[in-house]
Structure 1
C-alpha cells in the first residue's frame, strides 16, 4: 500500500508471493476467530430492527463497519476478529433491506437519512455515545452522512472506495467529475455511473436479472480487481446501452467463484440471503438521489468534516475511480484532517486485500485516534 501525496499514489511494496500472503491471512483469521469469537445480536425497536455481528469486549471502544451493495455484515469477516484482538469492540450490521435486518416495501424507505437513523439507534442500543465508523460502497455515504450530520457521534471516519461528496452521492455531483479522457461525453454521457440511471429507468428488469440466478450473480459480481482494466471504460458504463447488467442476457453468466474474494461458505451465505430477501431493497438504495441530495444540504458546517478521516483508494476499482479522475477532489476540500492510502485491490477491498486494509486502519487508529485506543 502507499500513501498519497498531492492526490497521486507512490510505488507499492509487496512482500512475498500472493499465495503466501493469502495463506498467512487465512491462518491469522482462524487464530483470531478462535480467540475472539464473532457473536450474533439484534438491536430491535418499533422503528427498525438491525441484526449485527459483534466481536471483542463489550466495554471496548466501538468500531462499527457499514457494508454496501449487495453485501452483508460478513463482508467485514476479515476485520472483526483483528480489531477485537487490538482492543476494540468491532461491530458489523446488516443494513436495511439486507440479511436479517428489517426489509421495507417502498423505494423511499432506503433513503440515506433512514440508514443514518438506523446506525444512531444501533449506537444507542450499544450504550455508547460515539464510535469510529468504517464504510464501503453505499456504506460510505452512510458514514460520510454520520460525520456531516452528527459529528458529535463520531470519533473518526474511515471509508473504502467511495469518497466524500458534500453535495451527496448523486449523479448530479459525480457527473462533473467524470474522466472524459476515458468516457467521451458523446459515447458515455453518464460515464461509469450509467448503471445508476438504469435502475431509475428499468428498475424491475435490473432486479429480475439479478434474481434469475442468484448464485451466478454473486459469483459474477464478487471478483478481484486487475491492473489490466486501467484506462478502460468500466462495465458499469455500458449497462443502459446493453439493456442490462449482463449484456442484455437477462441473467448473470456462469463463471467460477473467485476464491481470492469469497470462500464457498461465504458465497453460500450471500446467496441464501439474497434469495430470501431479493434485490428490491438493495437496488432501492439507488432510487433516492433527489432525497439524498436534499439530505446532504442539511449537513452541519456546510458539510465540512473536522474529525480525523481516512480514505482508502482501490487501485483497481474502475467504477469508483479515484486515482486519476477528479472524484476525490471534493473530499480533499471538505476534510480538515484527511489521510489517504492506496490499496492494491478492486472494489471488494476488505474481502480481496484484508491485510492491507487492516494495516491501514490500524495505523490510522494508532496515529490519529491514539487517545481512543488508550482510553479503551
Structure 2
C-alpha cells in the first residue's frame, strides 16, 4: 500500500485518524475497509491494489487505537456511536456521499453500527468472517458464554475476558510471539481449545506457548505484524474488547435506531467454515434473518479470509459489486 496515499484528519470529537485514500474513477463506488484486532489498514493489503486497479475508490483507515490513528485509553471513546461518526467525518472530508462498507472482525461490528446509524450513507455492506450483528442493548457476556457452551460444547467468547482484563496489554506485549501465533495459527482448530474457552488464552500466553503461523502469511508479513504490535502497543486496542465486556457497548446500543436493526441494503457475507469462534453456521442463520437482500458465500477458510483466500474473495466480491449492489435481489447462498 502506497504510503504517499495516506492522509490525516481530526474528527469532530478531536481525534486524529490516519487513513489510505484513493479516489474513484468514473462511476465506480468507493469502498470503506474496516479492519479488526490486532491489526491496522495493513490487513487489506491484498484488496487495495486489486480494487484500485479496477477504478474503485478506497478509504482504508487505521481504526481507533491502531497505527497512525490516535490511541485514547478511555473505554468510552470506543463507543460505536462515536466511532461511526468518525467514519462519516472521513467520508465528508473526502466529499464521498455514499460508500460500500467492508468489515472484518471488530470491523464487522463497526460496519453493523454504520448500518444502524447512517444507512442513507451506504450503498451496501460486506461482513467477512464475523456476520452482521444488530445492536444489542441487552447483551450480557456471561449469558453468551453459557449459551454458546450449551449449544456448541465450548464457550465462544471466553478470550474476550482475557483481553479485557486489567493488565492484559502488558501480558500480550511481554509474550508477543505467543500472542500473535495463536491469533494467526497454522491449525485453526486450536481456537476451539486454546483461545475461545474462558481461561485458556490467558494460560497459553502466560506460559509463553507458541504454534506455527498460518502458511498464507509470509515471514516478512509476520515481521510486519510484530513491528505493528510493538509500535502500537496494546493499551488502546484492548479497549475494543473492554467496551463490550464492561457493558459500555450495550448501554451505547440503547441509542441505536431500532428501525434499522434489519438491514435492507445489499449485504455480502463471507462465511469461514474453519473459524472456530465466528461460526459459519451461526453467521449464515443471522444473515438470513437480519438482512433482507443478502448474498452469502462460504469459504474453506479460517478467520483471516481476506488473507488466506484473497483471490477467491476479491473476485467474488467484485462480481457482487458489479451485479448486486446496483440491482437488489433476494437472498442467495452458495
TM over 0.5: yes
Q: 1:296 aligns with which of 238, 248, 253?
A: 253
Residues 104 and 360 of structure 1, relative CA distance in 2, 3 Å threshold:
same
* Correspondence for 2:194: 235
Q: 1:192 aligns with which of 156, 162, 176?
A: 156
Q: Give the TM-score normalised by the residue count of structure 2.
A: 0.85
Query: Secondary structure, in 3 states, of the residue corresponding to 2:303?
Result: coil
Residues 54 and 80 in structure 1, CA contact (< 8 A), matched pair in contact too: no
**Matches of 1:357 and 1:174 in 2, distance apart?**
30
* Correspondence for 1:100: 68
**Do residues 146 (structure 1) and 114 (structure 2) align?**
yes
Residues 57 and 87 in structure 1, CA contact (< 8 A), matched pair in contact too: yes
Residues 99 and 122 in structure 2, CA contact (< 8 A), matched pair in contact too: yes
Question: Whose radius of gyration is greater, 1 or 2?
Answer: 1
**Do residues 62 (structure 1) and 24 (structure 2) align?**
no
* Correspondence for 1:274: 229
**Matches of 1:165 and 1:89 in 2, distance apart?**
26
* Correspondence for 1:335: 291
**Matches of 1:71 and 1:294 in 2, distance apart?**
26
* Correspondence for 2:174: 212
Runs (4 or more) in structure 1 with deviation over 6 Å come to none
Map 1:339-354 onto structure 2 (within 5 A): 339-354=295-310
Q: CA deviation at 1:292?
A: 2.0
Query: Secondary structure, in 3 states, of the residue corresponding to 1:99?
Result: coil
Query: Secondary structure, in 3 states, of the residue corresponding to 1:339?
Result: strand
* Correspondence for 2:264: 306
* Correspondence for 1:87: 55
Q: 1:222 aligns with which of 179, 184, 208?
A: 184
* Correspondence for 1:121: 89
Residues 243 and 342 of structure 1, relative CA distance in 2, 3 Å threshold:
closer
Q: CA deviation at 1:246?
A: 1.4
**Matches of 1:113 and 1:161 in 2, distance apart?**
22
**Matches of 2:3 and 2:16 in 1, distance apart?**
23
Q: CA deviation at 1:161?
A: 1.1
**Matches of 2:193 and 2:315 in 1, distance apart?**
28
Q: 2:152 aligns with which of 161, 176, 182?
A: 182
Supply the RMSD in Å over aligned alpha carbons: 2.8
Query: Secondary structure, in 3 states, of the residue corresponding to 2:236?
Result: helix
**Matches of 1:225 and 1:255 in 2, distance apart?**
8
Residues 140 and 159 in structure 1, CA contact (< 8 A), matched pair in contact too: yes
Query: Secondary structure, in 3 states, of the residue corresponding to 1:90?
Result: strand
Residues 207 and 97 of structure 1, relative CA distance in 2, 3 Å threshold:
same
**Matches of 1:367 and 1:360 in 2, distance apart?**
11
**Do residues 164 (structure 1) and 132 (structure 2) align?**
yes
**Matches of 1:340 and 1:176 in 2, distance apart?**
28
Q: CA deviation at 1:39?
A: 2.3
**Matches of 1:207 and 1:362 in 2, distance apart?**
38
* Correspondence for 1:203: 166
Residues 310 and 38 of structure 1, relative CA distance in 2, 3 Å threshold:
farther
Alpha-carbon displacement from aligned partner over 1:78-131 (angstroms, at most 9, x marks no partner) = 001111122201221100100000110212222222221221111111111110
Query: Secondary structure, in 3 states, of the residue corresponding to 1:306?
Result: coil
**Matches of 1:369 and 1:96 in 2, distance apart?**
28
Residues paired across the two proteins, number: 321
**Matches of 2:34 and 2:120 in 1, distance apart?**
18
Unaligned 5+ runs, structure 2? 329-334
* Correspondence for 2:17: 50
* Correspondence for 1:14: none
Unaligned 5+ runs, structure 1? 1-32
**Matches of 1:129 and 1:69 in 2, distance apart?**
28
